[in-house]
Amino acid sequence: METDSAQPNDKMIQYLDGELTGDELREFEKQLVADPLMEQELENLKLARLAVQHYGLKQQVGVMHREMMEELMGNKGGAKTFRLMRTLTRIAAVLVIGIALFGGYEYLSVSSAGLLPQSGYDLSIARSNASASQIEKDYIAKNYTKVISDFSAISSPDNKDLFLTGLAYYNTSMPLKAVPQFKKVIDNKTDDNYRDDAEYYLSLSYLRDNQPTKAKPWLEKIYHDKEHLYHDKVSSWTILKLKLLLLKDPGK
């Protein structure tokens, strides 16, 4: 399984907190230079933290506003109180603008491709202990064209065959051909092996084909199911970005 690049990882958080030092810090910064998507996610995290800070300050401003209103009611016409109220209102306006700018940035930058993980499925964690089939060997070797060819010769494919063939199509930029393979795994009522995997990669296939509306119910299902194998890959951050994407392109 892969790490989900759509949500901040521990290294990013440690980097922003100043906890990375020495070789670990240098290695992380090299990764940032080499990986534009990772750098973009770091910037998103910075903005998210800034928005949270702004929100906290805004709450504090609200408390101060109520206190000053109480004081103002008890001291009408007080010039000092009026000046402080005017300053407070200006601060609140700046904070609201800052939060709006953050939301606008996320709205403009979000995309289906930005919600996709970077690395592929690691077959070494597959849950079957049976000896590797030819399809498995070809998938491990990343010979995806051969996986698809092997599948065509199988008369009665099982869930693993279907799932790996779906992944082969997915990894060769043919998400629409991957979709029916994943759906067959999901619809198999007599075998639930690889069902969670198929649900997750079905949603990714829709995203890769720029169909976020079709991906949405599957990602929400995974997000709300704490027992789902891929629950930790779909965070509230993922769902928020998906909703922004649908707001931006409602027809997709």
For the chain, 252 residues long, give each residue's pLDDT as a single digit of tens: 444 444 446 777 778 778 888 888 888 888 888 887 887 777 777 666 655 555 555 555 555 556 555 655 665 555 555 555 555 555 555 555 554 444 544 444 455 566 656 556 666 544 554 577 889 999 989 999 999 999 999 999 999 999 999 999 999 999 999 999 999 999 999 999 999 999 999 999 999 998 989 999 999 999 999 999 999 888 887 888 888 777 766 655
Cα 234 to chain centroid, rounded: 6
What pLDDT, on a 0 to 100 scale, did the predictor assign at position 245? Answer: 78
Using alpha carbons only, how large is the chain's radius of gyration in Å? 25
What pLDDT, on a 0 to 100 scale, did the predictor assign at position 61? Answer: 52
What pLDDT, on a 0 to 100 scale, did the predictor assign at position 93? Answer: 55
CATH level 3 topology of 118-233: 1.25.40
What pLDDT, on a 0 to 100 scale, did the predictor assign at position 203? Answer: 94
> In whole angstroms, how far apart are CA 229 and each of 15, 112, 131, 201, 233?
28, 22, 23, 12, 9
Cα 5 to chain centroid, rounded: 6
Distance CA(251)–CA(68), nearest Å, equals: 47
Model confidence, pTM: 0.57
Contact (Cβ atoms closer than 8 angstroms) between residue 1 and residue 197:
no
- DSSP structure class, residue 118: S
What pLDDT, on a 0 to 100 scale, did the predictor assign at position 102? Answer: 47
What is the identity of the amino acid at 3?
T
